[in-house]
Amino acid sequence: MGMTLSEKILAAHCGKDQVSPGELIEARVDFVFGNDITAPLAIQAFRRAGGRKVFDPQRIGLIPDHFVPNKDVTSATRVQEMRSFAQEMELPYFFEVGRMGIEHALLPEQGLVLPGDVVIGGDSHTCTYGALGAFATGVGSTDLGAAFLTGQVWFRVPESIKIVYRGRLGPWVVGKDVVLYTIGRIGVDGARYKALEFCGEVIESLPMDQRFTISNMAIEAGAKVGLIAPDQITKQYVKERAKRSYRFYEPDPDAAYEKVLEWDLSDLEPQVACPPSPGKVKPVGQLGEVTIDQVVIGSCTNGRLDDLRLAARILEGRKVHPRVRCIVIPATPKVYAQALEEGLLRIFTEAEAAVSTPTCGPCLGGYMGILAAGERAVSTTNRNFVGRMGHPESEVYLASPAVAAASAVLGRIAHPDEVLS
């Protein structure tokens, strides 16, 4: 019997010819990282275990991105602990403010996570790198600290679900809409501890930025990983960035899947996830009159260059609604610089949006856009649980950059065609 994409990668990293769902394995990791919430706890776990030296300084990243530039003494102290550990262990991949980006956009851009890798990170959206054909998943800080020391992690090999997307996406429909539709169909627990494999002609047509968005939100369906088999688009992306060797894996033709889902997305409309769940998804045209107070365009889900270009197409020559505040957060310094060079930041500021340095900020209710009681936001982020972006009586609607930008202009949740018609 053949193996799925995730099984092939795991087998190669635990020294076996074959692995099967349910099997417990210990795998070597290719890259390990934490952020300013999870890394300090991992460092403490590392020290409690008697750690004096990390397994490989070249394969560890420390990315303070959630509360930076530091918003208070607590966040400054956490980053100081990361900085000191990086100096002590001679870690080259500590990303200081000014060089720091949102981790799940920064690490692929820097060529530090690559096809065929096993990657663990102290953040649930580590599954983003599945878009490169890597087995990438989030872990707790104790496992992270252990991996700092040993370079290994244990897994239960997940069952795999294949999702085949047929057809051709219509105007304004992008990767965010594909993944929201998927979560709406299978539910927030529909892939619990499963390996999702995304494929089909829709996936093949998407650029890397949109593939990252789809894999990023696999966790919102409960998945352990969300993988896309590498192809020429992947190769083009990684060949100019990779800092070490990598390998493309493909699923075997006779691989066994728990289930195979096949959907034609030719008629898909832009999608919106309504509060309080990423699984409460509706086409934007079915929402009716939903007025808003804030729009956030950014995050590890949709803060890449293609996302900003999409938003700028709608905001150019227009103003943010006077009742709405719009916050744009480029995901990395390179994205920021390219957006500046292309004139995107001018478009945003002329539209009277606020442009931020890279940070996770409002996504987790950290800062840079906290909601008060009764306020409502449209956001390109990944979660909209109760209190996710601020007060428990606020609401967050998840959407693509196109829908978010259109909503910013009209002051209500809107289809882009309503602005451009």
C-beta of residue 378 within 8 angstroms of C-beta of residue 273? no
Q: Which two tokens stand for residue 92?
A: 């080259």
Q: Is 3 exposed, middle or buried (0-12, 13-18, 19+ CB in 10 A)?
A: buried
Averaged pLDDT, 410-420: 97
In this predicted structure, the answer to whether residue 181 has a pLDDT above a threshold of 90 is: yes
- Nearest Cα residue to 302 out of 204, 199, 211, 417: 211
For residue range 86-99, what is the model confidence (pLDDT) as tens digits? Answer: 999 999 999 999 99
Strand ranges (DSSP E) for 79-139?
A: 93-94, 118-121, 135-138
For residue range 343-354, what is the model confidence (pLDDT) as tens digits? Answer: 999 999 999 999
Domain limits, CATH 3.30.499.10, in the chain:
5-262, 271-420
pTM of the predicted structure, to 2 decimals: 0.97
Q: Is 286 exposed, middle or buried (0-12, 13-18, 19+ CB in 10 A)?
A: exposed
Confidence tier at 195 by pLDDT (50, 70, 90): very high
The amino acid occupying position 166 is R
For residue range 238-260, what is the model confidence (pLDDT) as tens digits? Answer: 999 999 999 999 999 999 999 99
In this predicted structure, the answer to whether residue 120 has a pLDDT above a threshold of 90 is: yes
**Residue 265, SS3 per DSSP:** coil
C-beta of residue 141 within 8 angstroms of C-beta of residue 38? yes
- The span from the CA of 28 to the CA of 154, in Å, is 9
Confidence tier at 337 by pLDDT (50, 70, 90): very high
Confidence tier at 318 by pLDDT (50, 70, 90): very high
CATH code: domain 271-420 is 3.30.499.10
Residue 1 confidence (pLDDT): 80
> How far is the CA of 77 from the CAs of 71, 72, 319, in angstroms?
11, 9, 39
Q: What kind of fold does domain 5-262 have according to CATH? A: Aconitase; domain 3 (3.30.499)
Residue 421 confidence (pLDDT): 79
C-beta of residue 10 within 8 angstroms of C-beta of residue 155? yes
Q: Write out 287-310 in H/E/C secondary structure.
A: CCCCECCEEEECHHHHCCHHHHHH
**Residue 371, SS3 per DSSP:** strand
Confidence tier at 321 by pLDDT (50, 70, 90): very high
Mean pLDDT, the chain, as a whole number? 97
> How far is the CA of 134 from the CAs of 265, 386, 404, in angstroms?
25, 32, 30
Residue 345 confidence (pLDDT): 98
For residue range 369-405, what is the model confidence (pLDDT) as tens digits? Answer: 999 999 999 999 999 999 999 999 999 999 999 999 9
C-beta of residue 226 within 8 angstroms of C-beta of residue 258? no
In this predicted structure, the answer to whether residue 298 has a pLDDT above a threshold of 90 is: yes
Question: What is the CA 404 to chain-centroid distance, rounded?
Answer: 17
For residue range 161-170, what is the model confidence (pLDDT) as tens digits? Answer: 999 999 999 9
> How far is the CA of 257 from the CAs of 164, 216, 264, in angstroms?
12, 21, 20
